[in-house]
């Protein structure tokens, strides 16, 4: 992995570990390998949602081109959500695709995924079956 990517992800990893959200048990990140190319994330289900009380595991793969390209993230924990594939765990979230900016961080990603659980985007589904069940009939 490129030196800039390693330095950046190490700094962001420490940022998450020291964050207020980690101390409140809302987000978490662990190393899977020693070269920081694969991480394991965890987010708590947001309050007042069907996900409250749940802990959701994430696979996070850091590309060599990080931070200029987003990390590859998927849910390991099976979840029923219109923007997350119930089969593969793939996520439909703009900041993990074309709206990624190099100023975004690992903490931003984890908090954005937690926010996605609180406010689904049924008009931009990853899982059409789930989206159709959650969309009111017109």
Taken in order of first residue, the domains within the chain and their CATH numbers are 3-127 (3.10.110.10)
Whether 93 has a pLDDT exceeding 90, the answer reads yes
Question: Residue 42 has what pLDDT?
Answer: 98
Alpha helices in the chain (DSSP H): 3-18, 20-23, 106-118, 128-134
User: What pLDDT digit, counting tens, does each position of 29-64 carry?
Assistant: 999 988 899 999 999 999 999 999 999 999 999 999
More confident residue, 135 or 32: 32
pTM for the model stands at 0.89
Active-site pick, 92, 96, 110, 130: 92
Neighbours of 28 (CB within 10 A): 19
- What is the band of 96 on the pLDDT scale with cuts at 50, 70, 90? very high
DSSP readout, 95-118?
GGTTT--TT--HHHHHHHHHHHHH
Tokens of 90: 């793939």
Say if residue 138's pLDDT is above 60: no
Task: Report whether the peptide linkage leading into residue 102 is cis, meaning its omega lies within 30 degrees of zero.
Answer: no
42 phi and psi angles, rounded to 5 deg: -150, 135
| pLDDT value, residue 1 | 66
In the residue annotation, 29 being an active-site residue is answered as: no
Q: How confident is the model at residue 68 (pLDDT cuts 50, 70, 90)?
A: very high
């Amino acid at each position: 992995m490129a030196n800039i990517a390693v330095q950046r992800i190490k700094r962001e990893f420490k940022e998450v570990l020291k964050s207020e959200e980690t101390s409140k048990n809302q987000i978490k990140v662990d190393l899977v390998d020693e070269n920081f190319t694969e991480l394991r994330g965890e987010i708590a289900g947001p309050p007042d949602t069907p996900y409250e009380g749940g802990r959701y595991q994430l696979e996070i793969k850091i590309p060599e081109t990080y931070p200029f390209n987003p990390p590859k993230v998927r849910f390991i924990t099976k979840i029923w959500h219109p923007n997350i594939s119930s089969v593969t765990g793939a996520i439909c979230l703009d900041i993990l695709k074309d709206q990624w900016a190099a100023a975004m961080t690992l903490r931003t990603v984890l908090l954005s995924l937690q926010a996605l659980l609180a406010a689904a985007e049924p008009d931009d589904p990853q899982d059409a079956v789930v989206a159709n069940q959650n969309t009111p009939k017109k």
